Structure 1
Amino acid sequence: MVNTQSLTASLFSQLQSGPALQQVSQQLGMDSGQASQAISAALPLLMGGLANNASQPQGAQSLLNALQRDHLGSGGGGFDLGGLLGSVLGGGAATPSTNGAGILGHVFGGQTPQAASLLGQKTGLDSGRSGQLLMILAPIVMSFLAKQFAQQGNANQLSQALGEENRQTGGGGIGDLLGGVLDQDGDGKFGVSDVLGLLGGKR
């Protein structure tokens, strides 16, 4: 049974309700059951990538800065899933808050295709649709985290919460990708320089 306090479970329940699931399923050309299964696999993968980015203090602060700068939205209101999903799917010019491909580049480095492939293996989607789903969900995850943590401005709290989330969900298989995806400097382990390489380019 999913922990009801889990960030992933909370966000997943919001994506399951109202028109959000229907919009995503239509965008991907699949039925709502398939879309629901794919979302349930994609969210832990994204949270796991972010948790690894935030596992070092510099990475957590860089992530918090990005959340505060690009993902809080206007007016400081609640998490506006409908509005954000409309912007992401609307096909307009991407902003830092809706640029899914750009966000994935910072979460997974240059290895976004491998992350999409992993999601495809878990869900049966082809790599094109699994990659598209990750691009749709990345801005939603960032906005959701911004509403939870950015207003308090506590990088340590953000790091701890994502770390606990990663332990609860198993990171969506992100551990299988650590060697290639998150080792940005090629030294065989994930460290501070890798975090800065992942997040340093976000403006």
Structure 2
Amino acid sequence: MDTFTQQLLQQLAQGAASQIGQKIGADEQTTNSALSAAIPLLVSALAKNASEPVGAQALHQAVANDHDGSILDNMESFLGSPEAANGAGILKHVLGGQQPVVTKGLTKNTGLNSNQVGQLLQIVAPLVMGMLGKQQKQAGLDANDLSGLLSSEKLKVEESNPDMMSTLNTLLDMNNDGSALDDILNLAGKLFGAKK
């Protein structure tokens, strides 16, 4: 069975990725490649946040209050005015102080500039939360269930692409030490940059 990360990527590949590319000023291939990194990264960040009971409860409440999954059924409307979904606010909660490091990492390895990466993350964040909301609503998940779902999802994504996920998880764990970051990104460049 596909992970919900794969389901979301597949849904976006059916035309939405092209629209996102137009929004951020990138071609469809580059956008798809960036989405394939950005979505698993956000899932990993959410899994990390939900690994503690307080974080799991806060996420469960946020999903229950604001993310029922309907955004996925109204993709065209959402992409018409994505800023209405408060992606910036979601990223602040999900990534916190890691956002500059994550942005730099994705910028170096996706072919997008930092502004494009920022826009992409703001568009993707509400979609990932919507997918979580859909799962939570359909299965009646409580906070512990949601934490377990994210942990399982993270493991499945890591198994399917261990090299990329190792790099992304390193970004999530780093402070803003530029030299260490550059070492990691230079090592990781071949994982993303080799795809022409």
What is the TM-score with the length of structure 1 in the denominator? 0.75
Query: In structure 1, what is the equivalent of residue 9 of structure 2?
Result: 12
For residue 2 of structure 2, give the secondary structure of its aligned residue in structure 1: coil
1:61 to partner: Cα distance:
1.2
1:141 aligns with 2:132: no
User: Is the deviation greater in 131-140 or in 26-35?
Assistant: 26-35
Query: In structure 2, what is the equivalent of residue 178 of structure 1?
Result: 173
Partners of 1:31 and 1:121 lie apart in 2 by 17
Residue 88 to residue 70, structure 1, CA distance change in 2 (3 Å) = farther
User: Is the deviation greater in 114-123 or in 35-44?
Assistant: 114-123
Partners of 2:79 and 2:99 lie apart in 1 by 18
Q: Residues 114-133 of structure 1 correspond to what in structure 2 (within 5 A)?
A: 114-133=101-120
Per-residue CA deviations over 1:32-65 (Å, capped at 9, x if unaligned) read 1111111111111110110000111121111010
1:90 to partner: Cα distance:
1.6
Per-residue CA deviations over 1:164-195 (Å, capped at 9, x if unaligned) read 221222346123331438xxxxxxxxxxxxxx
Partners of 2:16 and 2:27 lie apart in 1 by 13
What is the TM-score with the length of structure 2 in the denominator? 0.77
Query: In structure 1, what is the equivalent of residue 54 of structure 2?
Result: 58
Gaps spanning 5+ residues in structure 1: where?
73-77, 182-203
As a proportion of its length, which structure holds more helix? Answer: 2
Gaps spanning 5+ residues in structure 2: where?
159-164, 177-196
Q: Residues 1-203 of structure 1 correspond to what in structure 2 (within 5 A)?
A: 4-17=1-14, 19-72=15-68, 79-81=70-72, 83-84=74-75, 86-87=77-78, 89-90=80-81, 94=84, 98-150=85-137, 152-170=140-158, 171=165, 173-180=168-175
For residue 180 of structure 1, give the secondary structure of its aligned residue in structure 2: coil
Contact 1:53–1:59 (8 Å) recurs in 2: yes
Query: Aligned residues, how many?
Result: 168
1:84 to partner: Cα distance:
4.5
For residue 175 of structure 2, give the secondary structure of its aligned residue in structure 1: helix
Query: In structure 2, what is the equivalent of residue 196 of structure 1?
Result: none
Partners of 1:28 and 1:80 lie apart in 2 by 19
Partners of 2:22 and 2:172 lie apart in 1 by 29
CA-atom RMSD, angstroms?
2.1
